[in-house]
Amino acid sequence: MSVRYQLVIDCADPDRQAHFWAAALGYELAPPPSGFATWDDYYRDLGLPEEALTGGADRISDPQGSGPAIWFHVVPDAKAVKNRLHIDIHASGDRTDPIETRKRRVDAEADRLMALGALITVVMYEEGIDHYAVGMKDPEGNEFDIN
């Protein structure tokens, strides 16, 4: 039997990360629990101190309900090493599509995400190998790939 889970991403600015990743993944900002106007109101009800509240969005969810919820957790320390887990965004289409078509799709998605604040770190392509991907970093430096 599978279990429910959420993905947690440590960050300095959860509102910025929530907006970036919602746009990147086609997610939406997660609404607060029933009976609360905001997530901060919910956190206050749990007893969290004011200095722990973010004042903005910190959660996103898949509007179709099939992908995991993602929570952007504020931490005081900056990212220092490579992620041990990263997100792969599949934008290329089917493996049966020509490699040039898949490359154009991946590059178009990379361009879209750069406009949202991401940076390209590497293009992963070697002539004669039927694979193309672009490595990127989100606005806080977390690595992810588009393939």
pLDDT tens track for 28-55: 999 999 999 999 999 999 998 888 888 8
- Convert the pLDDT of each residue in 16-28 to its tens digit: 999 999 999 999 9
Instruction: Give the domain ranges of the chain.
Output: 6-74, 87-146
Amino acid occupying residue 1: M
Judged by DSSP in three states, 96 sits in coil
Supply the pLDDT for residue 51.
Answer: 85
| Low-confidence residues of the chain: pLDDT under 70 | none
Distance of alpha carbon 116 from alpha carbon 87, whole angstroms: 16
Residue 31 pLDDT: 94
Residue 111 neighbours by CB under 8 Å, 6+ apart: none
Find out if CATH 3.10.180.10 is the number for domain 87-146.
yes
User: Tokens standing for 111?
Assistant: 């361009």
